C-alpha cells in the first residue's frame, strides 16, 4: 500500500477552478537522485510508508498521489520591494497535493524547481542544489526554535547544469517539495483586487476562512483580516526572538496562515544588529532585521486594501491596527519561551524583553545572539552553568545586572528540560553563515552529505530538549 491509513487527501484549492491557477506539467528531468527525505514530516500526512521508488515517482516525476487531481500553478500578484508586479504567479513551482495532517490541519505539498509554467517569464523554472540545501537548513532551524514554518519534505537532484549569475556556474539542480499550511498568499488576493473582481475576493475569503480560520463567521472580512493580522504578528515576533532575517518580505512571500516559507537569501543574526540584511540586493535595508515588523505591517495593509472591495474600510482599519499590540504581546511570549521561564505579568515580561535586547546591544559582536538564550535557558536554574561557561566574562556590568534581575524574577518553565544532554554542551546549535557555507562546500566539492546529516541530527536533539 503506497500510503498509510493516516493519508487523508483533500484537494480543496483545486475546487476553486481555473481562474485561480493553471494546470501544468512538471519538467521531465534527466535524472532523479533522492538526496533528502523527511519521514518525520511525511508521517504526519501518511506518506512515510512510500517505498523509495514510489517517493521518486511522486516527488521527482510528480505522478499524482491518490485522490489528487494533478499539478496547478497558482495565480497571484505582489509587491516586490514595494513595487507592484502584476506578472507573478508560480513560475518555478506548483501546488501538487493537499491533505489533512495528524492535527487535522489542511496542508499543501508545494514544489520549487519543478519546471516552467505560464508564469515563468523566460526563467528556466529550476532550483539550484545549493538553494535546496539552504531551504532545508532554514526550515529545520526555525522549526527547532518554535517559529511557524513550512517543512522541506523532499530534495531530488535532477542531473541538469544550471547557469546562475550569483553563484559559480554551471551548478547542480534539484527539485524540492515543501509541506506548508497554505500557499494562499496576500498576493493571491491582490490579483483579484487588481482586476476588480469582488466575486473572487468573496470566494477567497470564504475559502480561507472555512479552511484556515474557522472561528471567523462566514462573510466577516474584517474578522478574517484580524485573524491573519494575529497570525502574522506571532510569526514576526518569533522571527525576531530567533534572530532570523527572512530577506525578501514581499506580499507574495507572506501567506494567510502566518507560516514562514520560501527561503531565499535568509540569515540568522551573528549578534545584535538592527540594520542587518540577508539579501545583497536589499541595498536600502528595507527588510533589515529590525524593520521586519514594519515590513509585515505594510504588507498587511496591502492585504486589507484588497478586502475594501467587499467590506467597510473603517472595520478593516480597526482590525489592521491591532497588529502593533498583538506583535508586542507575541514578542513578550516569544522571549519567555526562548529563555524558558514563565510569565510574571505584562510589565515584568516586557522588562525582561527590554533588558535582554539591551544586553545583546551592549555586548556587541562578542555577545552572539543564540548563546545568550542557550546559556540562560531556565533562568536562575542555569546561573551556575552560564557563569562557568565560555562566556562568563561577558556576564558582568550594569546591563547584565539588569538582565539577571529581570530574568530571576521569573520562575523556570519545566526546569527538568535542563537535564537533557544538549545543555551539557558548552555551545548551542547555531546557523551562522560560515557553517552553512561549510556544509554546502562538502557537498559541492566531494558530494559529502555527512555534515548536513550531522547538523540535522543535532537540531533534532535540540527539538527534543525543548519539547
- pLDDT range class, residue 32, cuts 50, 70, 90: very high
In terms of Cα–Cα distance, which of 194, 202, 197, 249 is closest to 84? 194
Residue 452 near residue 458 (C-beta atoms within 8 A): no
Query: How many angstroms separate the CA atoms of 207 and 237, rounded?
Result: 27
Distances (CA, A) of 270 to 95, 135, 336, 395, 435: 35, 19, 21, 18, 12
For residue 346, give the C-alpha cell: 505584562
Burial annotation 36-73 (CB, 10 A radius, 16+ → b, else e): bbbeebbebbbbbbbeeeebbbbbbebeebeebebbbb
Which residues is 302 bridged to in the sheet? Answer: none
Contact status, residue 85 vs residue 62, Cβ threshold 8 Å: no
- 74 contacts 95 by C-beta, under 8 angstroms: yes
Q: Which tens digits make up the pLDDT trace of 250-280?
A: 999 999 999 999 999 999 999 999 999 999 9
Q: Which residue has the cell 486594501?
A: 305
252 assigned to active site:
yes
Mean pLDDT of 343-369: 97
Q: Residue 167 has what pLDDT?
A: 78
pLDDT above 70 for 414 = yes
Query: Is residue 378's pLDDT more than 70?
Result: yes
Helix 433-446 vs helix 450-466: crossing angle, to nearest 10: 140
**Quick one: which of 370, 431, 446 has its CA closest to 136?**
431
For the chain, give the secondary structure using H, E and C.
Answer: CCCCCCCEECCCHHHHCCCCEEECCCCCCCCCEEEEECHHHHHCCCCCCCCHHHHHHHHCCCCCCCCCCCCEEECCCEEECCEEECCCCCCCCCEEEEEECCCCCEEEEEEECCCCCCCCCCCCCCEEHHHHHHHHHHHHHHHHCCCCECEEEEEEEEEEEECCCCCCCCEEEEEEEEEECCCCEHHHHHHHHHCCCHHHHHHHHHHHHHHHCCCCCCCCHHHHHHHHHHHHHHHHHHHHHHCEECCCCCHHHCECCCCECCCCCCEECCECCCCCCCCCCCCCCCCCHHHHHHHHHHHHHHHHHHHCCCCCHHHHHHHHCCHHHHHHHHHHHHHHHHHCECCCCHHHHHHHHHHHHHHHHHHHHHCEHHHHHHHCCCHHHHHHHHHCCCCHHHCCCHHHHHHHHHHHHCCECCHHHHHCHHHHCCCCCCCCHHHHHHHHHHHHHHCCCHHHHHHHHHHHHHHHHHC
Cell numbers standing for residue 128: 539550484
Grid cell 504578528 — which residue?
233
- Separation CA 224–CA 203 (nearest Å): 13
- What's the confidence (pLDDT) of residue 450? 98
pLDDT digit string (tens) for 33-82?
Answer: 999 999 999 999 999 999 999 999 999 999 999 999 999 999 999 999 99
State the Cα–Cα distance between residues 199 and 289, nearest whole angstrom.
38
Torsions phi, psi of 244, nearest 5?
-105, 140
Q: What percent of the chain has pLDDT over 70?
A: 100
Cα separation, 106 vs 125, in Å, equals 26
Quote the pTM value: 0.97
The phi and psi torsions of 20 (rounded to 5 degrees) equal -115, -10
Model confidence at 1: pLDDT above 70: no
Q: How many CB atoms lie within 10 A of CB 442?
A: 15
Q: Which residue has the cell 525582561?
A: 352
Query: pLDDT band for position 3 (50/70/90)?
Result: confident
Q: What mean pLDDT is predicted for residues 325-338?
A: 98
165: its cell numbers: 549569475
User: Of the residues 48, 90, 108, 252, which is catalytic?
Assistant: 252
| Contacts of 261 by beta carbon, 8 Å cutoff, 6+ apart | 110, 149, 150, 178, 180, 183, 253, 255
Q: Do 71 and 23 form a contact (C-beta atoms < 8 A)?
A: yes
Q: Which of 83, 84, 82, 94 is nearest to 119 (CA)?
A: 94
Q: Is the dihedral of CA 418, 419, 425, 426 positive or negative?
A: positive
The band of 2, judged by pLDDT with boundaries at 50, 70 and 90, is confident
Residue 158 has pLDDT above 80, yes or no: yes
Q: What is the pLDDT of residues 163-221, one digit of tens each?
A: 998 778 899 999 999 999 999 999 999 999 999 999 999 999 999 999 999 999 999 99
- Mean of pLDDT over the chain: 97
Amino acid at each position: 500500500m503506497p500510503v498509510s491509513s493516516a493519508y487523508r487527501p483533500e484537494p480543496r484549492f483545486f475546487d476553486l477552478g481555473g481562474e485561480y491557477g493553471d494546470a501544468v506539467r512538471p519538467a521531465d528531468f534527466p535524472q532523479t537522485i533522492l538526496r533528502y527525505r523527511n519521514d518525520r514530516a511525511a508521517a504526519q500526512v501518511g506518506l512515510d510508508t512510500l517505498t523509495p521508488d514510489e517517493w521518486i515517482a511522486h516527488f521527482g516525476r510528480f505522478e499524482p498521489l491518490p485522490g489528487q487531481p494533478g499539478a496547478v500553478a497558482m495565480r497571484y500578484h505582489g509587491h516586490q520591494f514595494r513595487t507592484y508586479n502584476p506578472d507573478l504567479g508560480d513560475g518555478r513551482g506548483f501546488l501538487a497535493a493537499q491533505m489533512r495532517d495528524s492535527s487535522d490541519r489542511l496542508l499543501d505539498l508545494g514544489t520549487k524547481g519543478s519546471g516552467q509554467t505560464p508564469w515563468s517569464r523566460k526563467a528556466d523554472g529550476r532550483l539550484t542544489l545549493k538553494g535546496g540545501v539552504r531551504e532545508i537548513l532554514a526550515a529545520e532551524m526555525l522549526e527547532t526554535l518554535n517559529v511557524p514554518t513550512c517543512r522541506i519534505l523532499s530534495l531530488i537532484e535532477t542531473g541538469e547544469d544550471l547557469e546562475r549569475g550569483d553563484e559559480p556556474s554551471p551548478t547542480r539542480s534539484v527539485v524540492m517539495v515543501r509541506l506548508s499550511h497554505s500557499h494562499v498568499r496576500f498576493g493571491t488576493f491582490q490579483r483579484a483586487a487588481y482586476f476588480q473582481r469582488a466575486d473572487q475576493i468573496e470566494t477567497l475569503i470564504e475559502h480561507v476562512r472555512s479552511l484556515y480560520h474557522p472561528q471567523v463567521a462566514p462573510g466577516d472580512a474584517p474578522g478574517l483580516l484580524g485573524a491573519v493580522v494575529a497570525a502574522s504578528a506571532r510569526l514576526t515576533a518569533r522571527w525576531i526572538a530567533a534572530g532570523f532575517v527572512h530577506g525578501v518580505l514581499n506580499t507574495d512571500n507572506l501567506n494567510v496562515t502566518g507560516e514562514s516559507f520560501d527561503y531565499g537569501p535568509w540569515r540568522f543574526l551573528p549578534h545584535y544588529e538592527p540594520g542587518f540584511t540577508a539579501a545583497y540586493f536589499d541595498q536600502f535595508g528595507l527588510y533589515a532585521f529590525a524593520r521586519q515588523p514594519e515590513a509585515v505591517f505594510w504588507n498587511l495593509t496591502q492585504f486589507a486594501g484588497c478586502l475594501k472591495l467587499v467590506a467597510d474600510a473603517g472595520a478593516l482599519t480597526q482590525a489592521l491596527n491591532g497588529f502593533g499590540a498583538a506583535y508586542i504581546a507575541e514578542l513578550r511570549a516569544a522571549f519567555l519561551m526562548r529563555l524558558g521561564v514563565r510569565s510574571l505579568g505584562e510589565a515584568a515580561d516586557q522588562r525582561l524583553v527590554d533588558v535582554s535586547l539591551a544586553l545583546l546591544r551592549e555586548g556587541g559582536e562578542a555577545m552572539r545572539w543564540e548563546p545568550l538564550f542557550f546559556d540562560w535557558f531556565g533562568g536562575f536554574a542555569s546561573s551556575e552553568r552560564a557563569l562557568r561557561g565560555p562566556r562568563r566574562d561577558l556576564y558582568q556590568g550594569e546591563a547584565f545586572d539588569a538582565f539577571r534581575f529581570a530574568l530571576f524574577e521569573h520562575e523556570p518553565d519545566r526546569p527538568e528540560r535542563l537535564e537533557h544532554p544538549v545543555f551539557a554542551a558548552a555551545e548551542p546549535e547555531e546557523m551562522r553563515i560560515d557553517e552553512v557555507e561549510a556544509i554546502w562546500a562538502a557537498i559541492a566539492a566531494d558530494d559529502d552529505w555527512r555534515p548536513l546529516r550531522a547538523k540535522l541530527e543535532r537540531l533534532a536533539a535540540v527539538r527534543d530538549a525543548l519539547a
